[in-house]
C-alpha cells in the first residue's frame, strides 16, 4: 500500500515516509538508512537509551526523523522534537502513532538506566489515546507493540500488558487499513480481519 504525503507533517503530499524497525543503539546502521532515504522517517521504537537520543538530537533534524518510543527508549526524551510523544496524529489524521510496550526482561534491567517504570502508557493515558483513536479513525496505525489478539495469533504468546490490551480495544472499535509495529524482531506481513498487520524486524524498512 502506497500513500503519498507532503513535506508538511499535518497535510497530504508527494513524498513517501520510511518506517524503520527497532534500532537498539545501532546508530551507524540507522544513520545509513536515513541518509539513503533523504526524506521523512518514523522509527517504530526501541531506538535506544540516553546517549542514542542525544545523538539523534545533535545530528538529525527532529522535524524530519521521528521516533515512536518503545519500551527500550529513555522516556526523558519524550518531549524533544524528534519524539512523537505518547500518541500523535499525522497527515490530516490518516496516521496515528501510540508509544509503549512492556519489557518481559525488566527484572534483569536497572531502573532509569535501561528500564523505566513508565515504559507503557498508564491506564488513563491509554484511555485518552483510545478516545482519540475512535474519534479520528486513522487509516494507518504506527506502534511499537500490537493488539493482544494479534500477538497471540502471530506469535503464540499469552502474556498481557496495558499496551496490548489498549490496542485490542482500539482494534475492536475500528479496523484501520494497516497496522505497522516492531518489538518482536520478526518480519511479518499478514491480513487479519481486513487489516494488514506488518511487523518490521530490527532495522527493517518499508515506505508508506
In a domain, 129, yes or no: yes
In a domain, 28, yes or no: yes
C-alpha distances in Å from residue 142, one per residue of 115, 137, 178: 22, 13, 9
User: What string of pLDDT tens digits covers the 208 residues of the chain?
Assistant: 333 333 334 434 435 999 999 999 999 999 999 999 989 999 999 999 999 999 999 999 999 999 999 999 999 999 999 999 999 999 999 999 999 999 999 999 999 999 999 999 999 999 999 999 999 999 999 999 999 999 999 999 989 999 999 999 999 999 999 999 999 999 999 999 999 999 999 999 999 9
In a domain, 48, yes or no: yes
For residue 86, the enclosing domain spans 18-207
With 0-12 CB in 10 A as exposed, 13-18 as middle and 19+ as buried, what is 87?
Answer: buried
In a domain, 3, yes or no: no
Identify whether the C-beta of residue 39 lies closer than 8 Å to the C-beta of residue 18: yes
* Residue 54: Cβ within 10 Å count: 14
Q: Which of 140, 144, 55 is nearest to 92 (CA)?
A: 140
Identify whether the C-beta of residue 150 lies closer than 8 Å to the C-beta of residue 197: yes
In a domain, 7, yes or no: no
CATH value at residue 134? 3.60.21.10
The model carries a pTM of 0.92
Query: What's the pLDDT score for residue 2?
Result: 34
The vertex-201 CA angle with 36 and 18, nearest 5°, equals 35
Residue 199 sits at φ, ψ, to 5 deg, of: -105, 125
Residue 127 sits at φ, ψ, to 5 deg, of: -60, -40
Query: What's the pLDDT score for residue 9?
Result: 40
In a domain, 100, yes or no: yes
Q: Domain tally for the chain?
A: 1
d(CA 128, CA 53) in angstroms, rounded, equals 26
d(CA 1, CA 23) in angstroms, rounded, equals 24
79-102 tens-digit pLDDT: 999 999 999 999 999 999 999 999
In a domain, 142, yes or no: yes
Spell out the residues 6+ positions from residue 58 whose beta carbon is closer than 8 angstroms to its own. none
Query: What's the pLDDT score for residue 15?
Result: 56
In a domain, 2, yes or no: no
d(CA 5, CA 52) in angstroms, rounded, equals 28
d(CA 59, CA 35) in angstroms, rounded, equals 11
136-170 tens-digit pLDDT: 999 999 999 999 999 999 999 989 999 999 999 99
Query: What's the pLDDT score for residue 44?
Result: 98
Amino acid at each position: 500500500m502506497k500513500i503519498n504525503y507532503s513535506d508538511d507533517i499535518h497535510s497530504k503530499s508527494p513524498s513517501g515516509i520510511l518506517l524503520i524497525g527497532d534500532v537498539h543503539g545501532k546508530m551507524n546502521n540507522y544513520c545509513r538508512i536515513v541518509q539513503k532515504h533523504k526524506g521523512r522517517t518514523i522509527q517504530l521504537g526501541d531506538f535506544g537509551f540516553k546517549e542514542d537520543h542525544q545523538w539523534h538530537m545533535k545530528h538529525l533534524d527532529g522535524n524530519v526523523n521521528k521516533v515512536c518510543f518503545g519500551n527500550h527508549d529513555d522516556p526523558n526524551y519524550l518531549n524533544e522534537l524528534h519524539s512523537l510523544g505518547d500518541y500523535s496524529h499525522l497527515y490530516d489524521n490518516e496516521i496515528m502513532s501510540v508509544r509503549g510496550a512492556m519489557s518481559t526482561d525488566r527484572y534483569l534491567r536497572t531502573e532509569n538506566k535501561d528500564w523505566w517504570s513508565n515504559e507503557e502508557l498508564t491506564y488513563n493515558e491509554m484511555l485518552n489515546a483510545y478516545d482519540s483513536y475512535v474519534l479520528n479513525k486513522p487509516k494507518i496505525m504506527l506502534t511499537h507493540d500490537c493488539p493482544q489478539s494479534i500477538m497471540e495469533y502471530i506469535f503464540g504468546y499469552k502474556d498481557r500488558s496495558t499496551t496490548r490490551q489498549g490496542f485490542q480495544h482500539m482494534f475492536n472499535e475500528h479496523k484501520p487499513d494497516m497496522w505497522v509495529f516492531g518489538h518482536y524482531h520478526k518480519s511479518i506481513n499478514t491480513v487479519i480481519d481486513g487489516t494488514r498487520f506488518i511487523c518490521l524486524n530490527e532495522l527493517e524498512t518499508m515506505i508508506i
